[in-house]
């Protein structure tokens, strides 16, 4: 991907936990200087995986060293299997053995897996040390690096063990997306479409108009969708940091999406693909409940398909899907709550009864779900 060097800054205002999201091609090489602006004791642990480490580890390490930091590189395995308590503990072991202190930094260099895991270790060590997100996938640049949700998976449910721990800084270098496998790039577009659906009809229309350029990773368009997505995410998080109410809208597509990820053992679908199917199927459910029109559901499905994302529910037994949906963290008082669309740019949160969802599942039939 060619680079565009204009710098954008999105502010996340959360009193003493406020921070900047800086977006600029080539930022990877400036991490040392940017960290200096935050102070700190001179010790930095860079958590990454072998794939991202090979591509960008050296540049990040070089920049940090040039700014006077003592750097420890910590490698965790690639993929979702690293999001465990075991790997959290492995990171904590290194921080403890190397005598990291409250003023030391953790830098998460990688996708959402590395960000969630490294952020969680930073939240736990010495009751919380500062960390910086350097997201390198589209999912992590538009979603997971912002908002302070950190954590790991448990056999019973995804992201079940975690903590809110806001980063001190988010450094987004869109040029790193150039090495992303096509499948991961497309998966990230699901989270971008989500922002249009939950909050911004104009942005949704922009995605419809420019999907062709986005699939070709045209740098100006990429910078725009990353910036706009971060603005929307930041505004939601600023209103409801701890997800007591409004932040729940960010989970659109995730009730069905998380269920599909867990049914596939976190191997069959990547996160964004599961969210894409989730959004299409949840819009179908919203249509069944009379919450949105057929036109809204069809428009969203067209954009999902134009992005090359999957939209078919890979489940034929209702009980299997319903059971997996129960493990979603968004249960409240024993009831499952789901974010459903009303219009493009507007969603609502409704409690779901088993009987109603079963009726939808039967009524749409296999043909409509596929
Ligand atoms: P990921 O971190 O597994 O990265 C996807 C793949 O791309 C990995 O193989 C990775 O090594 C590789 N990769 C990363 N950057 C690359 C680059 N620049 N070039 C080449 N390869 C690169 O997956 P993801 O989609 O980034 O994140 C998914 C995770 O994020 C899930 O665990 C999900 O639960 C979590 N998540 C968290 C939040 C949150 O708010 N904390 C939000 C959304 C998703
Ligand atoms: N990705 C959902 C959230 O950050 O709340």
**pLDDT at residue number 5:** 60
pLDDT digits (tens, 9 = 90+) for 173-182: 999 999 999 9
Could you give the CA distance from residue 234 to residue 246 in angstroms, rounded to a whole number?
A: 12
- 332: pLDDT confidence band, cut at 50, 70 and 90? low
Residue in 149, 194, 248, 301 annotated catalytic: 149
Sheet of strand 331-332: strand arrangement: 331-332, 335-343, 346-352
User: Which ligand has the minimum distance to the alpha carbon of residue 48?
Assistant: 1
2 or 261, which is more confident? Answer: 261
**Nearest CA to 318 among 281, 358, 282, 363?**
358
Q: Is the pLDDT of residue 366 over 60?
A: no
**pLDDT at residue number 262:** 83
How many CB atoms are closer than 10 A to CB 323?
A: 13
Helix (H, G, I), strand (E, B) or coil at 309: coil
**pLDDT at residue number 155:** 82
Mean pLDDT of 128-149: 98
Percentage of residues in the chain having pLDDT higher than 70: 95
Residue 70 φ/ψ, nearest 5 degrees: -90, 120
Q: Which residues line ligand 1 (CB under 6 A)?
A: 49, 51-52, 55, 78-80, 83, 110-114, 116, 136-137, 139-140, 143-144, 147, 149, 159, 176, 179-180, 184, 271
Query: Cα Rg for the chain, rounded, in angstroms?
Result: 20
pLDDT digits (tens, 9 = 90+) for 78-125: 999 999 999 999 999 999 999 999 889 999 999 999 999 999 999 999
Which ligand 1 atom is the nearest neighbour of the CA of 147?
A: 40
C-alpha of residue 148 to centroid of ligand 2, in Å = 9
If phi > 0 it is left, if psi is from -120 to 50 it is alpha, else beta; for residue 365 that is left
Number of H helices, E strands in the chain: 14, 12
159 or 156, which is more confident? Answer: 159
pLDDT digits (tens, 9 = 90+) for 227-278: 999 999 999 999 999 999 999 999 999 999 989 988 887 778 999 999 999 9
Q: Is the pLDDT of residue 161 over 70?
A: yes
Helix (H, G, I), strand (E, B) or coil at 105: strand
Active site annotation includes 17: no
Residue 60 φ/ψ, nearest 5 degrees: -70, -45
**pLDDT at residue number 103:** 86
**pLDDT at residue number 335:** 84
Task: Report the chain's mean pLDDT, rounded to a whole number.
Answer: 94
Strands (E), the chain: 8-12, 19-23, 43-48, 70-75, 105-110, 131-135, 149-154, 157-164, 169-172, 331-332, 335-343, 346-352
Q: Are 261 and 158 in contact (CB under 8 A)?
A: yes
Instruction: Encode burial over 204-243: b for 16+ CB neighbours within 10 A, e otherwise.
Output: bebbeebbeebbebbbebbbbbbbbbbbbbbebbbeebeb
User: Which ligand has the minimum distance to the alpha carbon of residue 244?
Assistant: 2
354 or 103, which is more confident? Answer: 354
- Residues in a beta bridge with 74: 47
Strands 169-172 and 105-110: unpaired
**pLDDT at residue number 369:** 54
Residue 154 φ/ψ, nearest 5 degrees: -125, 155
C-alpha of residue 129 to centroid of ligand 2, in Å = 21
């Amino acid at each position: 991907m060619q680079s565009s060097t204009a710098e954008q800054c999105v502010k996340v205002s959360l009193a003493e936990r406020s921070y900047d999201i800086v977006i600029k091609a080539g930022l990877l090489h400036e991490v040392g200087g940017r960290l200096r602006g935050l102070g700190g004791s001179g010790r930095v642990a860079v958590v990454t995986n072998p794939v991202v480490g090979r591509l960008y580890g050296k540049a990040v390490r070089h920049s940090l060293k040039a700014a006077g930091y003592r750097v420890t590189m910590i490698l965790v395995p690639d993929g979702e299997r690293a999001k465990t308590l075991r790997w959290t503990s492995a990171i904590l072991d290194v921080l403890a053995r190397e005598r990291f202190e409250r003023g030391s930094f953790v830098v998460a260099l990688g996708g959402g897996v590395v960000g969630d895991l490294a952020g969680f270790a930073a939240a736990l060590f010495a009751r919380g040390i500062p960390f910086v997100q350097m997201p390198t996938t589209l999912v992590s640049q538009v979603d997971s690096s912002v908002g302070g949700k950190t954590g790991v998976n448990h056999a019973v449910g995804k992201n079940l063990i975690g903590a809110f721990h806001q980063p001190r800084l988010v450094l987004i270098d869109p040029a790193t997306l150039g090495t992303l496998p096509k499948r991961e790039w497309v998966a990230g577009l699901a989270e971008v479409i989500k922002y249009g659906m939950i909050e911004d009809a104009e942005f949704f229309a922009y995605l419809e108009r420019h999907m062709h350029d986005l699939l070709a990773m045209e740098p100006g368009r990429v910078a725009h969708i990353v910036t706009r997505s971060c603005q929307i995410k930041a505004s939601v998080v600023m209103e409801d940091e701890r997800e007591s109410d409004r932040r729940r809208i960010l989970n659109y597509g995730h009730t069905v999406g998380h269920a599909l990820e867990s049914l596939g053992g976190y191997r069959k679908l990547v996160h964004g693909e599961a969210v894409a199917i989730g959004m299409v199927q949840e819009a179908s459910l919203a249509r069944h409940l009379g919450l949105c029109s057929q036109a809204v559901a069809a428009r969203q499905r067209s954009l999902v398909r134009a992005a090359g994302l999957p939209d078919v529910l890979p489940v034929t037994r209702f009980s299997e899907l319903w059971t997996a949906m129960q493990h979603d963290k968004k249960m409240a008082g024993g009831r499952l709550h789901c974010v459903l669309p009303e219009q493009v740019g507007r969603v609502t949160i409704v409690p779901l009864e088993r009987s109603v969802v079963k009726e939808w599942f039967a009524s749409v039939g296999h043909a409509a779900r596929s």
